[in-house]
Structure 1
């Protein structure tokens, strides 16, 4: 059995219904906002939000949204980018799509010259913290609201040959 081609695609009129239909398991709904809220936030924060469909083969299996160049705590000297939302449809969990999406977002941030990626998560039962720490995120000691902040150093850009 072959693995379907995984990619991130912009959310468009053509895939909107499939993206909107992405829904996590009922026991995870307290951990992540529904996709429709994320799309609304992307609409009102167009320069900061980077929403993408997670596509396996020809099927939308999830949704991911990065935040770009956000002024942390309104501090103009502290500009951060990272993972804002990650929703893997309940029918497609456990297949590596979440890991793929996080790695793809980190690669995009690296391509943009971002030195580190940030993420926050809910604590308590079924927290996604082990998922994020397994992908290299470590707590900073900060909170965003009541959520811990994690950071992952991204590989330094390769030096151009002399």
Structure 2
């Protein structure tokens, strides 16, 4: 009997997720942009940071290249107060750094944080159905499409490691 062995997941560059402490930090991360044809897939970082200011359950983090120290992206996770589920509300990598594995690394680093938090049996996220690159990334990292829609976004779920 032949046993299928899945190929190893691709390596990702090391990243650090950092809190945005100063107004200068916030301005730097708010200035990051996706490619023009991706703009409809994710809210701007400035909007996300403002959202986190209004919703204390949101945790905005900057994504930095751990090797070179540069700023490469933004992620925000939350424990939804209405449903008690963990969500990744935002994940974006600046256009200048896309295609290098930083998105995968940021996702993995975020999941590592969520794995350690209480009430974290699974994590949810929403993705624009037309964003095929993001959908493939999330599926490769263990997310499954639930068939649910939240507004215009397809909901995906992943069981966290314990």
Fold in common (TM above 0.5): yes
Higher mean Cα deviation, 34-43 or 138-147? 138-147
Q: Which residue of 1 aligns with 2:5?
A: none
3-state SS of the aligned residue for 1:28?
helix
1:9-158 paired onto structure 2 within 5 Å: 9-13=18-22, 14-46=24-56, 48-56=57-65, 57-72=68-83, 79-113=84-118, 114-124=120-130, 126=132, 128-156=134-162
1:100-127 per-residue CA deviation (whole Å, 9 max, x = no partner) reads 1111111111101311111110012656
Whole-angstrom CA distance in 2 between matches of 1:92 and 1:5: 13
- Normalising by structure 2, we get a TM-score of 0.84
Aligned residue pair count: 147
User: Can you give the 5+ residue segments of structure 2 that lack an aligned partner in the other structure?
Assistant: 1-11
Q: Give yes or no for contact 1:66–1:81 (8 Å, CA) kept in 2.
A: yes
RMSD: 1.8
Q: Which residue of 1 aligns with 2:6?
A: none
Post-superposition offset of 1:63: 0.5
- Normalising by structure 1, we get a TM-score of 0.84
Q: Give yes or no for contact 2:16–2:64 (8 Å, CA) kept in 1.
A: yes
Question: Are residues 154 and 35 of structure 1, via their aligned partners in 2, closer, same or farther at CA, if it must alter by over 3 Å?
Answer: same
User: Which contiguous aligned blocks of 4+ residues in structure 1 show a shift greater than 6 angstroms?
Assistant: none
User: Can you give the 5+ residue segments of structure 1 that lack an aligned partner in the other structure?
Assistant: 73-78, 157-162
Higher RCO by CA contacts (8 Å cutoff, separation 6 or greater): 2
